[in-house]
């Protein structure tokens, strides 16, 4: 079915009544209250936590709404505001796509110009939950020890401004700085307990977030910083979570298809695989949305789920991305159609499987499901999306299991091949940037490694040092095994 879309009405509160029932939000946005603040308005949040929150509000009758804060993307804020914070999600099931408007976002704000409004929300008793999807680089951790990088320019800037209490409510450039300043403000205002929930792909993401926020408070010049830290220990929970849904970047074609399905134009449309999962550590303080009503799982320990997801899904995603780019592919589905794509997913799972906690999760089924999910013909998930930010992703996905396996003298041929793929993809181009168009916060430092040596083993070691893996860079057998793989990978020949 196609409908003319160019002159269609735009999605917004006024057009909701014109939508077919199946396309309407589960809640009336006007009935919601802002009780959650979310940082990061990207497609992933809109296709994941916002969907769970809408269903939780609808099924419980509790008015949970989300104020979504963009760390830097004015376009996302303007786009949402222009549509009264409404947007659609299309589930890309093969042969059966389904498009529905989501109504859980109550406001869209920018971290900097709207800082006072964000601060007011974070210190208000009405808000009891903060969630984050700011990606690995949004935590500003040092590559060597994972602590807050207080020397990173944006963090240093936030620290400098935070000591001036007259600018404390307006100054933050980083989400970590914003949280630290506003949590301190909440404490000073005698504020209620609150849960701050990292939804980014990092092992122990709750503890990571807690560590960088506390690191900011410790590095601040606040005379009451010990009291702030004590209050945080008692009243602020940082539960760990595992989030999962493959959400490709939205294309013009996706937006046209959403408009055809809805009968209104939606410039903020997102698409995702039908599968979604959310596992949360059950340590919330204060009220929270009953996300379990939409299938979220509350458990005592998310680590087994987290490691399985990071090492099997994200680990093979990154390997498929770098090796697929080398072989001339552009999407995950395309790589799964090569002679080696599925083999790579299964071989990586077999290699890293022994590093996963043995708590009865079914790795074989998980791997079979991964192959199905990656093969979904309705998805065009770009390798460039997954290959971006490799310097802050591969530590979580590959280097942890690599260390464990090597300390037990296990062979690691697939991780070595994957690392050769990553090394190959960091090659700088004459025009600047990386050869397949991936972006990386450490792109300049990685490019320098290429400039300082022509020796492949020395290059591999330098790149690993750059991502905080000096211990691995000193393992000569590992380094030469990776280096030996480089010529074939560079030529696009992937041998598994």
**Which parts of this chain interact with ligand CS2 (CB under 6 A)?**
201, 244-246, 314, 317, 386, 393
User: Is 247 within 8 Å of 271 (Cβ atoms)?
Assistant: yes
Which residue lies nearer to ligand CS2 by CB, 168 or 344? 344
What minimum distance in Å lies between the beta carbon of 373 and ligand CS2?
9
> What are the two backbone dihedrals, phi and then psi, of residue 169, each rounded to the nearest 5 degrees?
-80, -10
Residues 6+ apart with CB under 8 A from 4: none
What minimum distance in Å lies between the beta carbon of 479 and ligand CS2?
25
By three-state DSSP, how is residue 69 classified? strand
Which residue lies nearer to ligand CS2 by CB, 309 or 465? 309
What is d(CA 368, CA 288) in angstroms, rounded to the nearest whole number? 34
Which single residue is written with the structure tokens 């404490």? 187
Which residue lies nearer to ligand CS2 by CB, 15 or 133? 133
What is d(CA 445, CA 468) in angstroms, rounded to the nearest whole number? 12
What minimum distance in Å lies between the beta carbon of 41 and ligand CS2?
15
What is d(CA 225, CA 218) in angstroms, rounded to the nearest whole number? 7
Residues 6+ apart with CB under 8 A from 61: none
Which residue lies nearer to ligand CS2 by CB, 237 or 383? 383
Which residue lies nearer to ligand CS2 by CB, 133 or 182? 133
What minimum distance in Å lies between the beta carbon of 75 and ligand CS2?
20
What minimum distance in Å lies between the beta carbon of 245 and ligand CS2?
5
Strand 270-272 versus strand 236-237 pairing type: unpaired
What minimum distance in Å lies between the beta carbon of 133 and ligand CS2?
10
Which residue lies nearer to ligand CS2 by CB, 265 or 393? 393
Residue nearest to ligand CS2 (CB): 317
Beta strands in 52-200 (DSSP E): 64-70, 87-91, 98-102, 105-110, 129-132, 194-198
Structure tokens at 177: 């700085």
By three-state DSSP, how is residue 44 classified? helix
What minimum distance in Å lies between the beta carbon of 388 and ligand CS2?
7
Which residue lies nearer to ligand CS2 by CB, 42 or 468? 42
Which residue lies nearer to ligand CS2 by CB, 89 or 461? 89
What minimum distance in Å lies between the beta carbon of 423 and ligand CS2?
17
DSSP 265: B
What is d(CA 253, CA 237) in angstroms, rounded to the nearest whole number? 41
What minimum distance in Å lies between the beta carbon of 112 and ligand CS2?
25
Structure tokens at 309: 């997801």
Q: How far is CA 172 from CA 39, 71, 115, 169, 285, in A?
A: 13, 10, 8, 8, 25
End-to-end alpha carbon distance in the chain = 43
Which residue lies nearer to ligand CS2 by CB, 189 or 439? 439
At 34, which helix (H) or strand (E)? strand 33-39
What minimum distance in Å lies between the beta carbon of 330 and ligand CS2?
15
- Burial class from Cβ neighbours inside 10 Å (0-12, 13-18, 19+) for residue 390 reads buried
Which residue lies nearer to ligand CS2 by CB, 78 or 244? 244
What minimum distance in Å lies between the beta carbon of 474 and ligand CS2?
27
Which residue lies nearer to ligand CS2 by CB, 173 or 317? 317
What is d(CA 395, CA 418) in angstroms, rounded to the nearest whole number? 12
By three-state DSSP, how is residue 277 classified? strand
- 162-174 CB burial, b ≥16 within 10 A, e <16: beeeeebbebbbb
What is the dihedral angle through the alpha carbons of 71, 220, 197, 358, rounded to the nearest 10 degrees?
120
DSSP 308: H
């Amino acid at each position: 079915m196609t409908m003319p879309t160019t002159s269609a009405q735009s999605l917004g509160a006024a057009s909701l009544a014109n939508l077919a029932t199946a396309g309407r939000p589960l809640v009336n946005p006007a009935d919601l209250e802002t009780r959650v603040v979310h940082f990061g308005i990207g497609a992933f949040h809109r296709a994941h936590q916002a969907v769970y929150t809408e269903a939780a509000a609808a099924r419980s009758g509790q008015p949970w709404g989300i104020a979504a804060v963009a760390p830097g993307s004015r376009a996302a804020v303007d786009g949402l505001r222009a549509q009264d914070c409404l947007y659609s999600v299309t589930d890309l099931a093969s042969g059966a796509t389904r498009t529905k408007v989501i109504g859980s976002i109550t406001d869209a704000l920018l971290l900097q110009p709207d800082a006072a409004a964000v601060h007011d929300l974070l210190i208000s008793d009405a808000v009891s939950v903060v969630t984050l999807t700011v990606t690995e680089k949004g935590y500003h951790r040092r590559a060597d020890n994972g602590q807050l990088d207080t020397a990173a320019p944006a963090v240093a800037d936030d620290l400098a401004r935070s000591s001036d209490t007259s600018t404390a409510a307006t100054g933050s450039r980083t989400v970590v700085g914003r949280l630290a300043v506003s949590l301190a403000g909440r404490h000073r205002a005698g504020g209620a307990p609150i849960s701050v929930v990292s939804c980014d792909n990092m092992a122990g993401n709750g503890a990571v977030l807690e560590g960088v926020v506390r690191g900011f408070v410790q590095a601040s010049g606040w005379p009451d910083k010990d009291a702030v830290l004590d209050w945080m220990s008692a009243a602020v929970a940082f539960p760990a979570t595992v989030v999962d849904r493959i959400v490709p970047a939205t294309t013009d074609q996706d937006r046209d298809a959403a408009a055809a399905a809805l009968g209104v134009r939606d410039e903020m449309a997102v698409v995702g695989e039908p599968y979604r999962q959310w596992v949360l550590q059950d340590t919330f303080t204060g009220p929270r949305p009953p996300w379990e009503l939409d299938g979220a799982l509350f458990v005592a320990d998310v680590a087994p789920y987290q490691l399985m997801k990071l090492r099997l899904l994200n680990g093979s995603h990154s390997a498929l991305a770098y090796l697929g780019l080398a072989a001339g592919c552009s999407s995950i589905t395309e790589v799964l159609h090569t002679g080696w794509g599925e083999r790579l997913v299964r071989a990586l799972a077999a290699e890293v499987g022994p590093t996963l906690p043995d708590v009865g999760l079914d790795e074989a089924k998980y791997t079979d499901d991964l192959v199905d999910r990656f093969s979904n013909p309705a998805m065009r998930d770009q390798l460039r999306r997954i290959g971006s930010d490799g310097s802050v992703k591969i530590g979580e996905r590959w280097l942890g299991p690599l260390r464990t396996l090597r300390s037990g003298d296990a062979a690691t041929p697939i991780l070595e091949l994957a690392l050769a793929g990553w090394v190959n993809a960091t090659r700088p181009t004459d025009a600047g940037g990386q050869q397949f168009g991936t972006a990386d916060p450490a792109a300049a430092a990685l490019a320098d490694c290429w400039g300082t040596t022509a020796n492949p083993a020395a290059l591999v070691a330098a790149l690993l040092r750059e991502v905080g893996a000096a211990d691995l860079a000193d393992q000569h057998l590992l380094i030469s095994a990776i280096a030996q793989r480089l010529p074939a990978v560079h030529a696009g020949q992937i041998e598994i």
